[in-house]
Structure 1
Amino acid sequence: MEDIRKIFEENTKLSDEDWAYFSSKLKHIEVPKKTAILKAGKVENHLSFVQNGIIRYYIPNLESDLTFAFVFENSFSCAYDSFLCQSPSNYTVETISESTLWQVTYQDLEDIYTNTAVGNTIGRKASEALFLKKAKRELSLLNETAEERYLNLFTERPELIRQIPLQYIASYIGITPQALSRIRKRIS
């Protein structure tokens, strides 16, 4: 848990009292590989910090799921639109690998905002991180080729991308698995 404090303190100093209050609200969970953290149609009630593991966001589809995000270790994970509005999610959030998460509930996060000096800063930093990932993804889809999107994903986390099944990567960059095979062959 001290690793989490260090990551938060990269942006803002936490008093021991604020950290004690905040950390008392965190729930530690170990999630097996290929486990839905949130299923489409359910309301997101947790903001999660991924200590280790890989998480995939996808829209379930009868023909093939549409993967639109990955979350790696030392990052926040949340169906944030569902979390903020407390409305059902249109997508599923699932572990790709065995994952360790630290979660805070919607209500506990509201209490942290109210009862700590840095609660709003922590919440703002989490929401900013989630927003920046979303904006980067949108710009990537609008401005880059599938090959560039693949290379960027590979550059970001080369040690982890090997753990992501190719059909998820293909879906994420907006192409078929066959087209991804051609890209991989061309750049190798």
Structure 2
Amino acid sequence: MQRMLQYLRQQVNISDEDWHIFSSCFEAKTYPAKTFYLQAGEMENYLCFVDSGVTRFYVEAANGDETTVGFGFDGWFMCVYSSFYTRTPSRYYGETLTETHVWRIHYDDLQKLFDRLPVVERIGRLATQQMLLFKSERELSLLTRTAEERYLDLLSKAPQLFRYVPLKHLASYIGITPQALSRIRKRIS
């Protein structure tokens, strides 16, 4: 949990007492590689902090094609926020790409902490703002930048993904085919 504490202290000033209360509501969970963390149709019940590992979130089209919409990796909070906050079934799949160790908190426990500790409500607000900004930046990037620019941006912001994520998933995330990604990588090399 030390990694989570370090991450939070970069965001907010959380006292030792508040950290003790907050952290006591989390449980450790390990997911083997290449397993579902969440399937479409299930409700997201946990907010997770990824201590180690890599996850992928995707949607599946009617024809079976998958579109990667996000990743979770070391030192980040993750969940399917739309399902978690609306308490409705997820339209997304979440799968582990590597063995993934998380600290997770149930929705009900988080809601109690929001009421009990002002710093937790602040953490939630900042996390929501960060997630909205990230999604907005990705949307704008898909609309205004070239595939090569999106590839280079991902490479600079999250180089660790290139060690663990198959290229077909990275290509899907930046909105191109695996073949187009191969051409870009060859041209840049």
Q: TM-score, normalised by structure 2?
A: 0.93
- Provide the C-alpha distance between the structure 2 equivalents of 1:186 and 1:165, rounded to a whole number of angstroms: 19
| Matched position secondary structure for 2:41 | coil
The alignment of Structure 1 onto Structure 2 pairs a total of residues equal to 188
* Matched residue SS, 1:132: helix
The aligned residue for residue 87 of structure 1 is: 88
1:30 is aligned to 30
| Matched ranges for 1:31-180 at <5 A | 31-61=31-61, 62-180=63-181
Letter in 1 for 2:157: E
Unmatched segments (≥5 aa) in structure 1: none
- More divergent stretch after superposition (9-18 vs 107-116): 9-18
* Superposed displacement of residue 93, structure 1: 1.2
- Report the CA distance between 1:159 and its aligned residue: 3.5
Structure 2 residue aligned with 1:12: 12
- Give me the whole-angstrom Cα distance separating, in 2, the residues matched to 1:39 and 1:159: 25
- How much has 1:53 moved relative to structure 2? 1.4
Q: Which moved more, 1:38-47 or 1:150-159?
A: 150-159
Contact 1:18–1:117 (8 Å) recurs in 2: no
SS at match of 1:153: helix
Deviation at 1:69, TM superposition (A): 1.1
SS at match of 1:162: helix
Q: TM-score if structure 1 supplies the norm length?
A: 0.94
By how many angstroms is 1:22 displaced?
Answer: 0.6
Whole-Å separation in 2 of the counterparts to 1:108 and 1:63? 36
Tell whether the 8 Å contact from 1:33 to 1:96 is kept in structure 2 after alignment.
yes
Amino-acid identity (%): 46
The alignment yields a C-alpha RMSD, in angstroms, of 1.4
- Comparing 127-136 with 86-95, which one deviates more in the overlay? 127-136
Runs of 4+ in 1 over 3 A off after TM superposition: none
Q: Which runs of 5+ in 2 are unaligned?
A: none
The answer to whether the Cα contact below 8 Å between 2:39 and 2:92 also exists between their aligned partners in 1 is yes
Return the alpha-carbon distance in structure 2 between the equivalents of residues 55 and 134 of structure 1: 17
Contact 2:3 2:75 in 1 (8 A): no
- Cα distance in 1 between the residues matched to 2:35 and 2:130: 24
After TM superposition, give the deviation of residue 136 of structure 1 in Å.
1.6
> CA-to-partner distance for each residue in 1:104-130, whole Å, 9 max, x for gaps?
111000011111231211211222222
CA contact (8 A) 2:68 2:169 kept: yes
SS of residue paired to 1:74: coil
CA contact (8 A) 1:76 1:130 kept: no
Q: 1:80 to 1:159 in 2, by over 3 A?
A: closer
**SS at 2:127 equivalent:** helix
